[in-house]
Amino acid sequence: MRFVLAAIAALALAMPAMAQAIWGYYENARYAYGIDIPPGFEGQGESTNGDGQVFLFDGRVARLTVWGGYFVTEPDFESEAHARLAEDTGAGWGLTAQSTTPTWAIWSATKSGRVLHQRMIALCDGQSYAALRLDYAQSDRPKLDPLVDQLTASLVAIC
């Protein structure tokens, strides 16, 4: 009986921690992509044009932006990704990691005490992409860095 009571008590104590670890999900109908949203990030509402949404962590400690777009000035996904990466480096972000392929791109950078992670994927129509951008203070790395791999891997096209 003591074992059963101890097990129930342990579960009761673990429940709040498990509830906090549950990831949400955001799906964009306009561009047909989906992404898992880490615990603690609150959506700020779909953008007016329906391309994505901003999610804030702890009020404003971290900003996760997800959006879709069409290749407007670039002929293909890889060129679009290189153009976006060039915008970041031109704005003073120092690259810490980068990889680009014909169907996905990912990079990390730092600037003025901030950390940036961006991932882009080609979407099924061959003319558009989906992207995520996570921006947070370097002082928040211990609580946010562990989320990056799962977050970036979860961005998928819905074909």
For residue range 46-73, list pLDDT tens digits in order: 999 999 999 999 767 899 999 999 998 8
Class level of CATH domain 23-157: alpha beta
Q: Which two tokens stand for residue 53?
A: 């949404």
Residue 80 CA, distance from chain mean position: 18
Residue 84 — φ and ψ, nearest 5°?
-65, -40
Please give the average per-residue pLDDT across 17-35, as a whole number.
84
Prediction pTM value: 0.83
CA distances from 144 to 70, 118, 148 (A): 29, 14, 7
What pLDDT was estimated at residue 129? 97
Confidence band, pLDDT 50/70/90 cuts, at residue 16 = very low
pLDDT category, 21, cuts 50, 70, 90? confident
